[in-house]
Chain A
Amino acid sequence: MSEHNHEHHISSAGQLWAIGIALTFLTILTVGLSFVEIPAPFDIITALTIAIGKAFLVAAFFMNLYWDDKFNSLLLIGAFVFFILMVSVTLLDTLYRVEVIPTF
């Protein structure tokens, strides 16, 4: 890190294209799976798993986290953890209301 003439990582064109093609394939996969009847909670779980996989590819290889200072990855994971916390605490309220009457 602190060495002089420290080189930044340069991805090869082939590497970048491979990630692009993988993302395209996963997009086609998730659209294809939406036409298949998957029972209730698992359809959302499958779609989100594919989306998280795509987000991982973008973050690791397009945003260069794989070669970066690991502190940047820690920030991203931290954001994700706090998002889960926000959703969980909110659901502890909204899922257990006796009556859901928000007026619009």
Chain B
Amino acid sequence: MSNHSEAQSVHLQHHFVDSDQQFDAAKLGMWVFIVNEILFFGGLFCAYIVFRAWYPELFTMAAKELKPLWGAINTLVLIGSSLTVAMAIRSAQKNQIKGLQINLLITIALACVFLLIKYFEYSHKLHIGIWPGADLYTYEGVDHPLAHVFFSIYYIMTGIHALHIIVGIGLMIWMYIRAKRNEFGSEYYTPVEMTGLYWHLVDVIWIFLFPLLYLIE
């Protein structure tokens, strides 16, 4: 272990044998968290499946209120941000701290674009009376007695997803500040890698939300 460099020993916690073991342990923990997230969203997808099986015509009719163009643009925005976060990790691995910072900034910008589009979608719907919940829902454009049920599912699934985007922006600002302080490099970039895993998970969830909500014929 004498050949370990200075940078490694600064970050190595005493209860790990070496930084590889520390890195793998962190990654395993992150994957357990991702399993938890999948099953958390899984409950919401389960509700979606139950209601779609009960009222298939409701989903066909109500989904016409969602604009596939905006959903598609947001899908491409998130795919782009997944790419830049992967590039950020690559920059850290290659000790290119400037590249790491730039890629994190682009990712934050793309995440904000996603939220901005979501904001316009939400505000348009709320404006015409599409609110979640039977009591608040006043829109008459969908000729189905349970139209509000579809939009409750829509708001909860996309809303919790948007909450994850906001958390992700916070994490990436934190990573950017730490990168600015020169805390990362090819020897130590574990937090950047974990933030990346989280961000890809958020991307994957949207990959499923998009066809299931926006692309119903």
Contacts and interface: CB of A to CB of B under 8 A. Distances in A.
Interface in A40-94: 43, 47-48, 50-51, 54-55, 58-59, 62-63, 68-69, 71-72, 75-76, 78-80, 82-83, 86-87, 90-91, 94
Contacts of B18: 4
Contacts, number: 139
A59 B35 CA distance: 13
Instruction: Please classify how large the interface on chain A is, using the bins under 10, 10 to 19, 20 to 34, 35 or more.
Output: 35 or more
By CB atoms of chain B within 10 A, which of A17, A78, A79, A82 has the most?
A: A79
A23 B79 contact: yes
A90 B23 CA distance: 38
Nearest to B47: A90
A6 B34 CA distance: 25
Nearest to B32: A75
B105 interface: no
Contacts of A30: 210-211, 215
B207 A55 contact: yes
B207 A72 contact: no
Instruction: Please classify how large the interface on chain B is, using the bins under 10, 10 to 19, 20 to 34, 35 or more.
Output: 35 or more
Main SS at interface, chain A: helix
Contacts of B65: none
A10 B95 CA distance: 12
A43 B211 CA distance: 10
A94 B52 CA distance: 11
Nearest to B4: A4
22 contacts: A4-B18, A4-B20, A11-B86, A19-B86, A27-B75, A30-B211, A30-B215, A31-B215, A47-B212, A48-B208, A51-B208, A51-B210, A55-B208, A58-B82, A58-B204, A58-B207, A62-B196, A63-B197, A63-B200, A69-B27, A72-B28, A86-B42
Given A11-B86, A62-B83, 18 more contacts: A2-B20, A5-B3, A8-B93, A10-B94, A24-B76, A27-B75, A34-B68, A37-B217, A51-B210, A58-B82, A58-B203, A59-B204, A72-B31, A79-B39, A82-B39, A87-B49, A95-B53, A104-B148
